[in-house]
Amino acid sequence: MTDTLFALVSSYGLWVIAASIFLSCLALPIPTSAMMLGAGAFAASGDFVLWQVLAVAWVSAVLGDQTGFQLGRAGGAPLMAKLQHKPSRARLILQARMSVQRHGSLGVFLTRWLFSPLGPYVNLIAGAAGLSRARFTLWGALGEAVWVAIYVGLGFVFAARLEALTEIVAEWSGLVFALGLGLGATLLLVQRMRRRYPTGDRSHRNR
């Protein structure tokens, strides 16, 4: 799979990078991080120009985010309800909604790079929830800059060990995402417990 992705990057250049990043922001299952690592490695070997890779990746990510945001704003609650038919997707959407509700702009920023699997759903939810476009754009663009810099930069610096790096990054990303989901589930449980058993009720029962 990795070899195929790198072959696509080699054959089609920055166009395939731009298309994959844009589509991944709309929740299409594309391993964009691996492709950006490959683009950084190609820049290190002189096949691409580093600043062009960074610029194309960042602009494509921002445009993808804006498209998802606008789809969420246009589709609203009916669109989100339709997307939640699959249980696995419903869990992602729940976590994304919590991120927006609890953290607002910070949630947008963190789901660009730290919890990136939630990013496409945060785009839709932020639009459907009426989050300010200016705030969404600012924090989304900053987060995408971090995401692009990390992955393209790693590919550029460790080009000679690209395959091993791709495996490490995939495992690390999966671990961080799993921890994030676990934390989100814990916070949700605590919130529900507080609503069900207010502090006053618990103190009364303890007496």
Q: Which of 21-25, 26-30, 86-90, 203-207 is the most confident on average?
A: 21-25
pLDDT at 203 exceeding the cut of 50: no
What's the DSSP call for residue 1? -
Report yes or no on 203 lying in a domain. no
pLDDT of 190: 56
At residue 56 the predicted structure's pLDDT band, cuts being 50, 70 and 90, is: very high
Report yes or no on 54 lying in a domain. yes
Distance CA 129, CA 101 (A): 9
Q: Where would I find the H helices in the chain?
A: 2-12, 14-24, 32-44, 50-83, 87-103, 105-113, 119-128, 133-157, 162-196, 199-206
pLDDT 10s digits, 92-148:
788 788 878 777 888 899 889 888 888 999 999 999 888 899 999 999 999 999 999
pLDDT of 183: 53
Q: Which of 52-61, 96-105, 179-188 has the lowest mean pLDDT?
A: 179-188
pLDDT at 51 exceeding the cut of 60: yes
Please compute, for residue 123, the number of CA atoms within 13 A of its CA located in the half-sphere on the CB side. 27
Report yes or no on 206 lying in a domain. no
pLDDT at 191 exceeding the cut of 60: no
Report yes or no on 36 lying in a domain. yes
Q: Where would I find the H helices in 114-161?
A: 119-128, 133-157
Report yes or no on 142 lying in a domain. yes
Q: How many domains does the chain fold into?
A: 1
- Tokens at 152, concatenated: 């393209």
Distance CA 86, CA 18 (A): 28
Report yes or no on 7 lying in a domain. yes
**Mean pLDDT, all residues of the chain:** 82
Say which residues have a Cβ less than 8 Å from residue 112's Cβ, sequence separation at least 6: 61, 65, 119, 140, 142, 143, 144, 146, 147
**Domain residues for 191?**
2-197
pLDDT of 116: 85
- Tokens at 12, concatenated: 């089609």
Contact indicator for 109, 140 with CB cutoff of 8 Å? yes
